[in-house]
Amino acid sequence: MAVATVGVLVLSAITSVVVVAEGSSGNTDAVPLGDAERAALIEAATSCPDLTPARLAGQIMATTRFEATKEGGIAGLTAAEWEIWKPSDDAMSSDDSASILALAHLTCDLIGRLRRDGFAGDLWPLAVAAFATSLDRVRTSAGVPADVADFVNQVATYAAWYGQRLPGGAGGPSTGPDASPSTSTSTSAPASPTPTPAQTSALPTPSSAALAAPTSPTTAPPASLNFPAFNNASALYLNGSAKLLNGRIMLTTGLGQAGSAWSRTTFDTSRSFTSSFTAAINVPTDGLAFVIQAEGPAAVGNSGGCLGYGARPGGNPEDSIKPSVAVEIDTWANGANDPTGNHHLAVTVNGQMAQHLVWAEPGFNLANNRPFTVWVNYDASARTLAVYISQNSTRPAQPLFSYRIDLRAHLASTRAYIGFTGGTGATNVADSHESVLNWTASSN
């Protein structure tokens, strides 16, 4: 399916999409799944907070009936889409697992772009429509274009059928494991809310999407990742200027750059987790951030003081990564946009890098090419994010600061991407760079 990626357009209304429930005549010809296909669908769905195995199965069934095409395998991708979304350089479209994973990545990217445009609610039906036609047409139609509505309904019908046979049901992760497939989906895009600045340990005002966040418990298993070094990009999404070099993630390597790196393993926002990483910044430059976000695997913000996650003051706010929570490591004073002092750590939300909800100075130079280690711990029961930093591998007894926030409510999703962003400006030295040397994370 050809998919166009064009400029940002915030829309205020989205056409309703009817999802036919289990038992409708349209789902009786669905192809049964083998063990290998089931395993591939379950694995691929974990890469995106908005997908389930049944949703992927429904999309494949309506597109190819699980019969491989030469260009994109059983997912029916075009040759161009396969080149962009294949899970590794040596992946073959004839590999069903790789084809399904590529479809998951593409669909999740479409969802992220729609969310960034201002659409709200369950965006999967709109992403399916964009898959069938283009993002441009979905934006122009303010919803599902009439000529692909039948395809979207067919996908949803098949998803409902597979939802009775695969973990997670037919709805998105927010539906919960025991919920029935929805009989209708209607989404709208309200005006973007502005988070209220808060003080240390304060709970931020949630967005309107967060108020609709699911309250039912999730059953996603604990997640973990371990990168003693970065020698293979297959487990990461790299965007913008980010690349792997000499066993490191190089978020930036020059002037005016913005880069992001996300783990392909998503994390359950209702679970506690701990993450630690060692980073290095070789000269005074803008800095980097550890970011938890539900926009998607292609998310990246502006360069310079935006640190790769934010939007420029006075610029387009849609350039920021949102919904998101960032722990920024800022090494450049940007006037009124930053606290006093060149080096600080802070918590910000939704890419609003000028609103430091809590911040503190580390007590040492962050930009002398000397590695430092940061620990980010989230306590789901206390809804508290604690941040530690040290010049060695021993975590301090006390955090640099802590901040109360409900990740699940703020992100309005049960699953989130975690990773890093970085940015350099036009006034840094030409060889400035920000790198991550190692990284571990685990939830419980």
pLDDT number for residue 363: 86
Neighbouring CB atoms inside 10 A of 147's CB total: 12
Q: What is the pLDDT of residue 342?
A: 65
Are 443 and 222 spatial neighbours (Cβ–Cβ below 8 Å)? Answer: yes
Q: Length of the chain, please?
A: 444
Mean pLDDT by 10 residues, the chain (444 residues): 36 36 50 93 85 94 91 90 83 92 90 85 93 91 91 92 88 42 32 31 32 37 89 90 93 87 91 95 83 92 83 78 92 64 83 84 87 96 95 93 93 91 75 86 93
Per-domain residue ranges of the chain: 17-185, 208-443
**385/248 Cα distance (integer angstroms):** 26
Structure tokens at 361: 């100075």
Burial class for 274, CB neighbours closer than 10 Å (0-12, 13-18, 19+): middle
For position 120, what pLDDT does the model report?
A: 86
In CATH, 208-443 is 2.60.120.200: yes
**DSSP sequence for 361-416:** --SS-SSSS--EEEEEEEETTTTEEEEEEESSSSPPSS-SEEEE--HHHHHTSSEE
pTM for this entry: 0.55
pLDDT score, position 1: 53
Position 23 scores a pLDDT of 37
Which pLDDT score is estimated for 62?
92
CATH T-level fold of 17-185: Lysozyme (1.10.530)
Can you give the pLDDT at residue 214? 32
Answer whether 102's CB lies under 8 Å from 80's CB.
no
What is the reported pLDDT for 173? 52
